[in-house]
Structure 1
């Protein structure tokens, strides 16, 4: 829920802080920037201090950062607090995937690992439902504070159940040894390259088009603010079936074809969205947005799952953290740049420009990745 809070609140934060195009990107990207750093540090902490201690640190940092966000008096203070909140967001990824791989059997690991987008969809729907409710009861001035406050509740619940987790502690020997071992095994190295490169491609899709769907719908001026939020909610709601169908297709398609099909669908939908925006056919844009949700879910689901599968327990947190970092850095930069690019070349052309990432994903998924569904060997 945490990483999606600011993108979903974008239009309200822009008005509250009177942010221009540059600050809009900075506000939206702050959490992602923190998440990139958190991925690296979190992977190391996860492997050296253990899974449970890493989990505890993540939740404490986020709660403190969320409270700081609530009392932000200006755009700079808010941005810094969200950047800090990004640390546990990124650090949580290697922690969660390590627990999944170490507590589930082959087949189940892939299923639970690829449920990541379903959880993301539920978070997005929760945020937008709260926003819609606040709009309907005319509390628009405090919407962003209420949503950020609500994001703390799951963390408090998790802290209460902290002692129920197993603390798996391993020794970390750094990135150099890890990468050397990866390169010695062709299958593992190809899976890692796939996770890195396609992670960038999928993250760029998310951090531009997917993150800015509320912003795009509002800018199209099809509906008033409440109507725009309802439309946004309905578009994201298609992520529920997309998130469920993807993991269920794994026994038949495997990770490789699921990711490839996802990038193909995303590519078609981004071109269609861009053209329809450019030509002023906005209702068609909404249809392509729905199609994009399916494509982006499916191309994202195998990425970290693949990296986690081919990593041993000793290096697993470090490996996943590095993969997530590599995906988050360009994602952070894309978020910063997208509003400014839109202001220069227009929303339609900017949307079509994103399809380059999808096209790259198609090529890498089909030519580099080697199928590893139900993979069991470790380092």
Structure 2
């Protein structure tokens, strides 16, 4: 008679819980760090795709002559696709494992990114950008689950909070490359196609780097694949989980309907998750509304625009702002051990609020220098306030729901980003740039209040919902 057949389901679950506790408290290793970087690097690809189109919209408009509605939809379509992909990818990752999803999403993104170069009209581009959002959203939710399951406490929080650093790198690279093509005199109809298709290049590099990554032992454990979980744990952490039998088992599949009830039952999980949803929504709309349209705001304000209408100066100012923001994104994770998640969020939203107020004042009085300073303050604050929402929602979730929790959290980022990108031009048209900027500042204020009054300090948190 085999070992498993003599054990009760409760006994098997207790062994699984014991192994889960061991894995969640493991020290970091070189292998787990490599996996973390491979996952967080997805943000660089997303940033390229999102910000490249901000710089080439003017050329898309010249080629296709879209309506304002169509142009807004082309801008926001990738966010709409990510809404679908985030939840779908999280659920599928919990069901089929992390690796199958993160390999599939990269392949799909490469194909769709290249296809953008061959769009025949604005609706081709809108549809392609919506489809691109699906693997992007899926990869983010799956990637955060991977980071939380493959790295040690503290380290996984730092890595998860590096998404703004990676976002800044992607933005700066896109600005520099597109500016070089523009200055070199590339035909504008070709430029926008090349710029959007170039996102496939880092995706190919990332796909190759991910092929040798293992599945996470926690994901295998939650699906009853004990034999493989023991092998991967040995590979990542040099621990073969000897408490587990050398046989696979059938464990009850986690029910999606249980997800919210489990989160709501624990006050720490509940408050941290509510904050992460609010924060993800506020920072998503905050950036999509003002940060995404920063080049447009600067051009309309005359910042960096030459007498003959050349926008190279505007691009360089924008690049410098995002270089500063990238530094902010690098610093934010380092501050977690000093001021915690609440401190990082409160400082971030506070500075973003101040920067938006400065920007509104600068535009009202046509003080170009104040507009630039306000943009710098906003971006420094934004790269702090946006750094940890996904980390928190993924970290506090039980392993069996982690992909689902990450995907659900990312819905708030992308839903708000879609709303912000689509609505900001309408607000600017009806309220003017000053009024629209003041309206966006209310998002930053909301995020600050949520961090102060809702978020419990969860730095170093280790989930214990399934652990006995």
Q: TM-score under structure 1 normalisation? A: 0.96
Structure 1 residue 160 displacement after superposition = 2.3
Which contiguous aligned blocks of 4+ residues in structure 1 show a shift greater than 6 angstroms?
none
Is contact 1:98-1:308 (8 Å) kept?
Answer: yes
Residue 166 (structure 1) aligns with: 214
- d(CA) in 2 for partners of 1:3 and 1:205? 15
Residue 116 (structure 2) aligns with: 69
Larger displacement relative to structure 2 (207-216 or 330-339) = 330-339
Decide which of 91, 104, 107 is 2:154's aligned counterpart. 107
Larger displacement relative to structure 2 (138-147 or 293-302) = 138-147
Unaligned 5+ runs, structure 2: 1-44, 224-252
1:267 aligns with 2:346: no
1:279 aligns with 2:326: no
- d(CA) in 1 for partners of 2:337 and 2:393? 18
Q: 1:262 to 1:304 in 2, by over 3 A?
A: same
Structure 1 residue 378 displacement after superposition = 3.4
Decide which of 197, 222, 240 is 2:278's aligned counterpart. 197
Task: Report Cα offsets for 1:106-164 as digits up to 9, x if no partner.
Answer: 11111111100000000001111111101111115122112122210112122223431
Structure 1 residue 194 displacement after superposition = 0.4
Decide which of 193, 198, 203 is 1:155's aligned counterpart. 203
Residue 302 (structure 2) aligns with: 221
Decide which of 66, 71, 75 is 1:24's aligned counterpart. 71
Residue 362 (structure 1) aligns with: 448
- d(CA) in 1 for partners of 2:265 and 2:161? 27
Residue 319 (structure 2) aligns with: 233
Residue 409 (structure 2) aligns with: 323
Is contact 2:294-2:318 (8 Å) kept?
Answer: yes
Helix, strand or coil at the partner of 1:167: coil
- RMSD of Structure 2 on Structure 1 (CA): 1.5
Structure 1 residue 300 displacement after superposition = 0.7
Structure 1 residue 20 displacement after superposition = 4.0
Decide which of 256, 269, 284 is 1:188's aligned counterpart. 269
Helix, strand or coil at the partner of 2:388: helix
Is contact 2:144-2:394 (8 Å) kept?
Answer: yes
Residue 102 (structure 2) aligns with: 55
Structure 1 residue 25 displacement after superposition = 1.8
Residue 293 (structure 2) aligns with: 212
- d(CA) in 1 for partners of 2:356 and 2:274? 24
Aligned ranges for residues 295-310 of structure 1 at < 5 Å?
295-310=381-396
Is contact 1:31-1:84 (8 Å) kept?
Answer: yes
Structure 1 residue 13 displacement after superposition = 2.4
Aligned ranges for residues 311-350 of structure 1 at < 5 Å?
311-350=397-436
Decide which of 138, 141, 145 is 1:94's aligned counterpart. 141
Decide which of 324, 340, 358 is 1:254's aligned counterpart. 340
Q: 1:140 to 1:245 in 2, by over 3 A?
A: farther
- d(CA) in 2 for partners of 1:159 and 1:111? 23
Task: Name which structure has the greater RCO, CA cutoff 8 Å, separation 6+.
Answer: 1
- d(CA) in 1 for partners of 2:450 and 2:97? 33
Decide which of 176, 179, 194 is 1:146's aligned counterpart. 194
Q: Which has the larger radius of gyration?
A: 2
Is contact 1:3-1:86 (8 Å) kept?
Answer: no
Structure 1 residue 22 displacement after superposition = 2.6
Structure 1 residue 192 displacement after superposition = 0.3
Q: TM-score under structure 2 normalisation? A: 0.78
- d(CA) in 2 for partners of 1:53 and 1:225? 44
1:179 aligns with 2:265: no
- d(CA) in 1 for partners of 2:463 and 2:210? 30
Structure 1 residue 275 displacement after superposition = 2.0
Aligned ranges for residues 125-140 of structure 1 at < 5 Å?
125-140=172-187
Larger displacement relative to structure 2 (57-66 or 252-261) = 57-66
Structure 1 residue 174 displacement after superposition = 4.1
Is contact 1:239-1:293 (8 Å) kept?
Answer: yes
Is contact 1:311-1:378 (8 Å) kept?
Answer: no
Unaligned 5+ runs, structure 1: none
Structure 1 residue 344 displacement after superposition = 1.9
Q: 1:257 to 1:207 in 2, by over 3 A?
A: same
- d(CA) in 1 for partners of 2:85 and 2:354? 33
Larger displacement relative to structure 2 (273-282 or 296-305) = 273-282
Larger displacement relative to structure 2 (243-252 or 314-323) = 243-252
- d(CA) in 1 for partners of 2:464 and 2:132? 33
Helix, strand or coil at the partner of 1:161: helix
